[in-house]
């Protein structure tokens, strides 16, 4: 077997090796069971709550959880805007980088608060070290919010008949101190010991092999990269993200980073089984998500290893696959693996240029974000899957003529209306945004020529990818926007900044509000013990039903748009 394929198998195997015990540990944190880190972090937790004046023992219902989440996120947004628009005169700016203008700061602040990390700037020139550190903090807290709100849903699924679902601040702080922080420290140390920079000094001056003097940006890179992957944030310290040799030095650091970004999303599945005491149900969820992951991964690796058909038609041999836009230190299979992992998990970091992948590979990357239910980001990734579970239970109940029940609670019209609104919101945001951009461009292509680098099928794909990434809390990009007619503004324009910012806000908070509302409503209902007629939701049959609902509701909604973009481009290349 190809050693690069073995490398992919090793990457996934190590993730599973760590994810299962981590899931049990996370489950203990959610249920307040003792863990070996309590002696270290209990005093720190008490200090946080004493300083803030928060009573972490006060129980909250689902509405109070959401109010707490939205309130602190609003405060973080305001702080972020103040820092980003005043970086030029604030401290920790050794390279004298300028402040951001209003629309770019809005996009960036929204992006990092929402755990999307879409970047319409290049980190080494667009941010001061203070700006980088503030965004690094948001990578911790936005991930902590996602884990905490998922814990609320887990506790609601476990509840028999109550509206008391723990305390949001208690779950949030424990998620940050006991899950994110210790693992991030370990990952950062691994990166530092493998030559990733960790400094507060300015640019280094180096002499290249051909004798040129170059000024190379450095900074607190290792710490930034550790939490960007662990929290499935994905924002790059440098513009090239994890394709940059100082963010991702070698195949070993590539291995560490891919394991890190997949770790918590998979562990959360097993934490679910621990919390609700239904391990078989958790394995069903894992099975459906993994089948979806493999259906996107395998063809992507195959088409990239076979190379670009247009280049082959020129008589150029591609023995190592399609290497356009990829780093030789990683190779084609590892780059293809990363591209699917980062899009289905909503990390959004890249170790290769997605714009340079073959059309079908680009389509699979977009599909991962469009479906947005296979593993997903930390915490909130499961919330998207939870919606499809509710839909599958309701449809299955109707098919067999029984009242739909899930974990002993009846699913009625109110829950279904919320579920359908959330299920249809994602396609609406992606397709509506792409339609608006396409309309504006097509009605005045001369004035908006700088919007896209490649008019035609690929240009449409670039716009579709941008809105897909924004709506999926992903943040990766085809990066072909905004370079027509010699322009160098990229996607840092008022239209892309504001439109993507609005979509990121809607796509972050509405898909949180919906599942939490459903879980909270169900938790307060009367518990109905299982009987012989109860629909089993931990079987492979129900798993297939969930997969079918995902395929019909999520995937097929995007087929016409994909036909206009990557599919049309693929057939156009094979003429």
Contact present, 415 and 422 (Cβ < 8 Å) = no
Q: Which two tokens stand for residue 175?
A: 């998620």
Residue-number span of the structural domain to which 481 is assigned: 378-573
Domain end: 257, 277, 297, which one?
A: 277
In this structure, the answer to whether residues 384 and 270 fall within a common structural domain is no
Q: Which value, to the nearest 10 degrees, does the dihedral of the CA atoms of residues 461, 465, 244, 231 take?
A: -160
Q: Which two tokens stand for residue 14?
A: 């190590």
Q: How far apart are CA 546 and CA 296, in angstroms?
A: 17
Residue 15: C-alpha distances to residues 21, 22, 267, 356, 393 (Å): 11, 10, 9, 27, 30
Q: How far apart are CA 302 and CA 528, in angstroms?
A: 48
In this structure, the answer to whether residues 33 and 153 fall within a common structural domain is yes
Chain position carrying tokens 């459906």: 288
Domain end: 277, 308, 338, which one?
A: 277
With respect to residue 474, please indicate whether it lies within any of the assigned structural domains. Answer: yes
In this structure, the answer to whether residues 109 and 218 fall within a common structural domain is yes
Contact present, 19 and 263 (Cβ < 8 Å) = yes
With respect to residue 211, please indicate whether it lies within any of the assigned structural domains. Answer: yes
The contacts of residue 213 (CB under 8 Å, 6+ apart) are 205, 206, 207
In this structure, the answer to whether residues 263 and 383 fall within a common structural domain is no
In this structure, the answer to whether residues 263 and 386 fall within a common structural domain is no
Q: Which two tokens stand for residue 320?
A: 């190592």
Question: Crossing angle for the helix pair 62-84 and 168-175, nearest 10 degrees?
Answer: 50
Residue 81: how many CB atoms within 10 A of its CB?
Answer: 18
Q: Which residues pair with 136 in a beta bridge?
A: none
pLDDT value of residue 451:
67
pLDDT value of residue 515:
96
Contact present, 175 and 148 (Cβ < 8 Å) = yes
Question: How would you write 340-377 as a 3-class SS string?
Answer: HHHHHCCCCCCCECHHHCCHHHHHHHHHHHHHCCCCCC
pLDDT value of residue 203:
82
With respect to residue 534, please indicate whether it lies within any of the assigned structural domains. Answer: yes
Start-to-end C-alpha separation, the chain: 33
Residue 396: C-alpha distances to residues 77, 283, 376, 542 (Å): 42, 20, 24, 8
DSSP annotation string for 487-552:
---TT-SHHHHHHHHHHHHHHHHHHHHHHHHHHHHHHTSPP----TTSPPSSSHHHHHHHHHHIII
- What pLDDT tens digit does each residue of the chain (575 aa) get? 578 899 999 999 999 999 999 999 999 999 999 988 889 999 999 999 999 899 999 999 999 999 999 999 999 999 999 999 999 999 989 888 999 999 999 999 999 999 999 999 888 888 999 999 999 999 999 999 999 999 999 999 998 888 899 999 999 999 999 999 999 999 999 999 999 999 888 788 878 777 787 888 888 999 999 999 999 999 889 988 999 999 999 999 999 999 999 999 999 999 999 999 999 999 999 999 999 999 999 999 999 999 887 787 788 878 888 998 899 999 999 999 999 999 999 999 999 999 999 999 999 999 999 999 999 888 888 999 999 999 999 998 888 777 788 988 999 999 999 999 999 999 999 999 999 988 888 777 665 566 677 778 998 999 999 999 999 999 998 877 754 333 344 578 888 999 999 999 999 999 999 999 999 999 999 888 877 777 888 899 999 999 999 998 877 899 999 999 999 999 988 76
pTM above 0.85, yes or no: yes
With respect to residue 232, please indicate whether it lies within any of the assigned structural domains. Answer: yes
CA 532 to centroid of chain Cα atoms: 40
Q: How far apart are CA 561 and CA 550, in angstroms?
A: 17
Contact present, 181 and 140 (Cβ < 8 Å) = yes
Q: How far apart are CA 440 and CA 443, in angstroms?
A: 5
With respect to residue 262, please indicate whether it lies within any of the assigned structural domains. Answer: yes
C-alpha angle 44-262-2 in degrees, rounded to nearest 5: 145
Run of H or E including 321: none
With respect to residue 54, please indicate whether it lies within any of the assigned structural domains. Answer: yes
Q: How far apart are CA 454 and CA 461, in angstroms?
A: 9
Q: Which residues pair with 326 in a beta bridge?
A: 352
CA dihedral for 260, 550, 355, 121, sign (positive or negative): negative
The contacts of residue 37 (CB under 8 Å, 6+ apart) are 178, 182
Q: Total structural domains in the chain?
A: 2
Q: What is the pLDDT of residues 358-402, one digit of tens each?
A: 999 999 999 999 999 999 888 888 999 999 999 999 998 888 777
pLDDT value of residue 291:
96
Q: What is the DSSP letter of 99?
A: P
In this structure, the answer to whether residues 390 and 270 fall within a common structural domain is no
Determine the 3-state secondary structure of 162 from DSSP. coil
In this structure, the answer to whether residues 262 and 411 fall within a common structural domain is no
Domain end: 277, 299, 330, which one?
A: 277
With respect to residue 176, please indicate whether it lies within any of the assigned structural domains. Answer: yes
With respect to residue 61, please indicate whether it lies within any of the assigned structural domains. Answer: yes
pLDDT value of residue 561:
94
Q: What is the DSSP letter of 209?
A: T
In this structure, the answer to whether residues 254 and 390 fall within a common structural domain is no
In this structure, the answer to whether residues 268 and 385 fall within a common structural domain is no
């Amino acid at each position: 077997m190809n050693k690069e394929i073995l490398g992919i198998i090793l990457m996934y195997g190590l993730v599973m090796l760590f994810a299962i015990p981590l899931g049990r540990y996370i489950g203990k944190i959610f249920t307040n069971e003792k863990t070996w880190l309590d002696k270290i972090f209990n005093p720190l937790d008490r200090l946080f709550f004493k300083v803030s004046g928060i009573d972490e023992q006060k129980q909250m219902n689902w509405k109070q959880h959401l109010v707490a989440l939205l309130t602190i996120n609003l405060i973080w947004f305001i702080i972020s805007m103040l820092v980003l628009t005043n970086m030029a005169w604030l401290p920790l700016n050794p390279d004298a980088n300028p402040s951001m203008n209003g629309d770019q700061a809005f996009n960036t602040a929204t992006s990092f608060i929402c755990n999307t990390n879409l970047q319409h700037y290049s980190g080494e020139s667009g941010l001061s070290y203070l700006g980088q550190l503030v965004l690094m903090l948001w990578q911790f807290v936005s991930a902590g919010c996602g884990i905490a709100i998922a814990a609320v849903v887990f506790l609601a699924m476990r509840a028999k008949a109550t509206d008391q679902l723990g305390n949001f601040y208690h779950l949030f702080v424990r998620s940050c101190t006991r899950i994110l922080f210790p693992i991030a420290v370990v990952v950062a140390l691994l990166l530092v010991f493998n030559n990733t920079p960790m400094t507060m000094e300015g640019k280094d001056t180096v002499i290249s092999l051909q004798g040129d003097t170059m000024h190379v940006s450095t900074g607190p890179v290792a710490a930034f990269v550790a939490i960007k992957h662990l929290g499935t944030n994905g924002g790059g310290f440098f513009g090239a993200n994890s394709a940059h040799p100082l963010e991702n030095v070698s195949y070993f650091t590539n291995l560490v980073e891919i394991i890190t970004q997949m770790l918590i999303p998979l562990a959360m599945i097993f934490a679910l089984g621990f919390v609700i005491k239904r391990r078989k149900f958790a394995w069903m969820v894992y099975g459906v998500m993994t089948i979806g992951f493999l259906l996107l991964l395998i063809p992507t690796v195959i088409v990239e290893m076979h190379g670009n058909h247009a280049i082959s038609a020129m008589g150029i041999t591609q023995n190592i696959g399609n290497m356009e836009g990829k780093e030789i230190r990683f190779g084609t299979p590892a780059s293809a693996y990363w591209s699917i992992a980062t899009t289905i998990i909503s990390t959004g970091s890249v170790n290769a240029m997605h714009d340079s992948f073959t059309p079908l590979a680009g389509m699979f990357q977009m599909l991962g974000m469009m479906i947005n239910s296979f593993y997903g980001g930390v915490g909130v990734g499961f919330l998207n899957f939870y919606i499809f579970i509710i839909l599958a239970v309701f449809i299955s109940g109707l098919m067999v003529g029984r009242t739909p029940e899930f974990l002993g609670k009846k699913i009625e019209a109110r829950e279904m209306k919320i579920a359908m609104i959330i299920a249809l919101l994602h396609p609406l945001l992606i397709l509506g945004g792409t339609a608006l951009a396409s309309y504006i461009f097509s009605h005045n292509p001369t004035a908006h020529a700088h919007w896209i680098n490649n008019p035609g099928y690929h240009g449409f794909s670039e716009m579709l990818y941008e809105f897909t990434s924004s709506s999926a809390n992903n943040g990766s990009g085809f990066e072909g926007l905004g370079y027509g007619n010699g322009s160098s503004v990229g996607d840092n324009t008022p239209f892309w900044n504001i439109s993507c910012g609005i979509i990121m806000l809607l796509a972050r908070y509405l898909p949180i509000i919906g599942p939490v509302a459903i879980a909270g409503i169900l938790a307060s209902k009367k518990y109905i013990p299982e009987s012989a007629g109860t629909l089993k939701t931990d079987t492979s049959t129900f798993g297939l039903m969930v997969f079918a609902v995902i395929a019909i509701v999520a995937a097929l909604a995007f087929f016409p748009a994909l036909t206009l973009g990557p599919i049309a481009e693929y057939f156009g290349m094979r003429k």
